[in-house]
Structure 1
Amino acid sequence: MKSAPRAAFSSAGPRRTWMAAFPFLVVIMALGGLYAGVAGRLPDPLAGHFDGGRANGFSSAPGFVAGCLAVLLVLGVGSGLLVRLRGHAPEVPWLIAASWATAAGIGYSICRTLLANVDVADAAAVREPQWQTAVGLGVALLAGALGRLLAGAAPLPPRRAAAATPRLDLPDGTTAGWSRTISSPPLVVLGVALLGAGLVLGVLAGWLSAAGLLFGGAACLPLASVRVTVDRHGLSLSPAMLPCRVRLRRIPLERIAEAGSRRVACFAEFGGWGYRLRAGGSGLVLRSGEGIVVRLTNGKEFVVTVDDAATAAALLNTYTDRARARQGG
């Protein structure tokens, strides 16, 4: 009875536990180094809180730094403990990403506040430009993306076989087409938010500072709404927001061994939304649910989540059979 909780607790790798706490440790060390360098140039009290860019909260410099260090320490320990307790749950990589984003956002805000008070005689005169908020958001997003990348994909559940899919009964010499559009509202919101923040930051602080946000928005939006098409040429994916000739991916019939359909769990199997890569395959997963599963001739698998996936898979199998028959296979 006593060994089960201990085994469950130790099931999470220590690497990911430390990965969740690591950014807070970095911020604590950076804050300590910064304070040691500017302590003699800070007013007493210093401006520690702002409203509309104007200072409206004051505290002693040691008290401000001690409070910030305590918050960072609690968050770091809590993040590491949470990841350790969750073991190898699918959401662990996203918890790590959230810890990196939180540590970077808070750390940027604290360091920015200390630097704003350097060499100021009267703390009431300290100002905080509004564009600093956008910069802080960008720093948090970039740190979160880095943390998510380093965390890797969640462990894969046992692979479920694709449902058996019959061929469509198409008379010889006739063709048919199938097309559906799949959209992801969260990616639309994220793309628009990144572009909006990038435009604001570009106007206020320069376009070089906004390049990361603008690039992130431009990368999100084409994946936010995708048209999936099956025809006599194979399977193709095209961004709905771009001209139809622009394709994210095209898989010709000669590369398809067989197609099927099944329910896809985007976080458990791929670690998130978007165009995802994993061992043994890839996929465009904008939500969990019904999806086309294409087994390629090289043994890998391509998955795309879309409604009416069974019909699309059946049509793909019909065209694949025809292609093999023409080639004498």
Structure 2
Amino acid sequence: MKSALRSAPPSIGPLRTWIAALPFVAVIAALAAVYTSVSGRLPEPLATHFEADGQANGFSSTHGFLTGCLVLLLVVGTGFGLLIQLRVPATGAHWLIAGGYATAAGFGFAFCLTLLDNADVTDASAVRLPLWQVAAVLAVALVAGALGRLLAGPALRPQHPAFGEAPRLDLPAGMSAGWSRTISSPPLVALGVVLLGAGLVVGILIDWLTSASLLVGGAVVVAVSSVRVTVDRRGLSIASTLLPYRIRFRHIPLDRVAEAGSRQIAALAEFGGWGYRVRAGRSGLVLRSGEGIVLRLTNGREFVVTVDDAATAAALLNAYADRARSRQGG
């Protein structure tokens, strides 16, 4: 058997990392410049929160306002930076960068407007927030997001080896083989137990109708937290170890498999979490980060499932898929 297919998503280059950090640095510098220009003309405290009609209803010290703005920008900026460094797939990085630009510009412009609105006012309660400024903040965020999307460059696509390069198991004609592994997620088990427990408590103390959603959600989470992945002459099947085998979460027959491979999968970076995940052009059951089977389906989509010994499963699945195509003359 050949080595397993390793088709990791393209990574984010250093230039894109700096591009992603740029708006937060620029906004902090702009906020410092605006404060410097109006620091001697600000009331104490500042009007920092407003009702729908524009009237001030929240106040803060100048030092507290500036500290809060700086902390918020640093935390949000660091969050976007961590998403970049956590190997977020390049196929989605351009939108992540655009979101960072829109967020930084929206917050920064609102903070600067707050300082300017308070300038030359002796009583902060007299400060008003014009409606046009709310629209302006949204417009600036949209323009900045578009700029970030432009600077991020073209969207990159995952690089897959050419068809036929994935591993095949040497399976003589007429011989059958099967492969099966179990994969569990302790965090999902814990979450399911917590939901079920909360549902029981709510049902006993309040009413069972109110607790129904917690009980159903807990049952679903527990059921999906431990599954058996099977590859045989019928294709790939995924079934809960806690339910009868005939009740399957997913079955992909051989005629839908274009090719199978295996690679390392980052649950949080690639799919945003754990469980049954759906993303543009792909879906899968991701119970942990690590080795997983990657199926390229005949409709162009991708299906993944994290499981040990994924390379063997992929090679067997390719062998069966080749055999099925040869019988159909394809």
Place the TM-score, normalised by the shorter chain, in its bin. Answer: 0.5 to 0.7
The verdict on how the C-alpha distance between 1:174 and 1:238 changes in structure 2, with shifts beyond 3 A counting, is: same
Seen in structure 2, the aligned counterparts of structure 1 residues 309 and 210 have a Cα distance that, compared at 3 Å, is same
In 2 relative to 1, CA 177–85 (structure 1 residues): closer, same or farther, beyond 3 Å?
same
Equivalent position of 2:287 in the other structure:
286
User: Structure 1: where are the runs of 5+ without partners?
Assistant: 15-27, 31-65, 67-73, 94-155
Structure 1 residues 314 and 203, CA, compared in 2 at 3 Å: closer, same or farther?
same
Asked whether the equivalents of residues 11 and 88 of structure 1 are also in contact (C-alpha less than 8 Å), the reply is no
Say if 2:302 is the partner of 1:301: yes
Separation of aligned partners in 2, 1:11 and 1:277: 31
Instruction: Kindly state the Cα deviation for residue 222 of structure 1 after the two structures are TM-superposed.
Output: 1.4
Give the alignment partner of residue 8 of structure 1, picking from 21, 45, 65. Answer: 21
Q: TM-score, normalised by structure 2?
A: 0.57
How far apart, in 2, do the equivalents of 1:298 and 1:269 lie?
Answer: 21
* Structure 2 match to 1:83: 76
AA aligned opposite 2:266: A
Highest Rg: 1 or 2? 2
Alpha carbons 1:162, 1:262 under 8 Å: kept: no
Partner deviation per Cα, 1:170-228 (whole Å, 9 max, x = no partner)? 22111000000110000000000110111011101111221232122122111100100
Matched, 1:172 2:168: no
Residues 265-308 of structure 1: CA deviation (Å, up to 9, x unaligned):
11111000000000111011111111100000011100111000
Figure out how many residues of one structure are paired with residues of the other and give that number: 213
Q: Hey, what's the Cα distance between the residues in 2 that align with 1:314 and 1:290?
A: 14
Question: Is 2:213 the partner of 1:187?
Answer: no
Any idea what the Cα deviations from partners look like across 1:70-129, whole Å, max 9, x if unmatched? Answer: xxxx99995675223322643899xxxxxxxxxxxxxxxxxxxxxxxxxxxxxxxxxxxx
Which residue identity is paired with 1:8?
A
User: Structure 1 10/85 Cα, relative in aligned 2: closer, same or farther at 3 Å?
Assistant: farther
Mean CA deviation greater in 201-210 or 309-318? 201-210
Amino acid across the alignment from 1:169: D
Q: Is the 8 A contact 1:157 1:269 kept in 2?
A: no
Measure, in 2, the Cα distance between the counterparts of 1:79 and 1:208: 40
* Closer/same/farther in 2, CA of residues 29 and 313 from structure 1, 3 Å limit: farther
Matches within 5 A, 1:263-274: 263-274=264-275
The one-letter code sitting in structure 2 at the alignment partner of 1:202 is G
| AA of the residue aligned to 2:320 | Y
- Paired amino acid for 2:80: G
Unaligned runs of 5+ in 2: 1-16, 28-48, 52-58, 60-66, 89-95, 97-154
Preserved CA contact (<8 Å) 1:284 1:305: yes
Structure 1 residues 249, 6: CA separation in 2 closer, same or farther (over 3 Å shift)?
A: closer
The corresponding residue for 2:232 is 231
The answer to whether 1:328 aligns with 2:329 is: yes
Q: Distance in 2 between matches of 1:179 and 1:297?
A: 23
In structure 2, what is the Cα distance between the partners aligned to 1:199 and 1:78?
Answer: 41
Paired position in structure 2 for 1:316: 317
| Distance (whole Å) between structure 2 residues aligned to residue 76 and residue 221 of structure 1 | 42
CA contact (8 A) 1:165 1:310 kept: no
Higher RCO (CA < 8 A, seq sep 6+): 2
The question of whether the paired residues in 1 share the 8 Å contact of 2:24 and 2:73 is answered with no
Change (3 A) 1:320 1:7: closer
Separation in structure 2 between the aligned mates of residue 189 and residue 157 of structure 1, nearest angstrom: 37
Q: Which amino acid aligns with 1:265?
A: A
Contact persistence 2:24–2:74 (CA under 8 A): no
Aligned residues: percent identity? 62
In structure 2, the CA distance between the partners of 1:239 and 1:10, relative to structure 1 (3 Å rule), is: same
Which letter maps to 1:249? R
- The residue aligned with 2:100 is none
Residues 87-236 of structure 1 aligned to structure 2 (within 5 Å):
87=80, 89-90=82-83, 159=158, 161=160, 164-236=165-237
Does the residue aligned with 2:321 lie in a helix, a strand or coil? Answer: helix
| 1:206–1:299 CA distance, 2 compared to 1 (3 A) | same
Letter in 2 for 1:250: H
Q: Distance in 2 between matches of 1:296 and 1:273?
A: 22
SS at structure 2 position matched to 1:167: coil
**C-alpha spacing 1:260/1:199, structure 2 compared with 1 (3 Å):** same
Kept after mapping to 2: 8 A contact 1:283/1:302 = yes
- Seen in structure 2, the aligned counterparts of structure 1 residues 203 and 267 have a Cα distance that, compared at 3 Å, is same
Partner in structure 1 of residue 147 of structure 2: none
Match of 1:259? 260
Query: Deviation at 1:252?
Result: 0.4
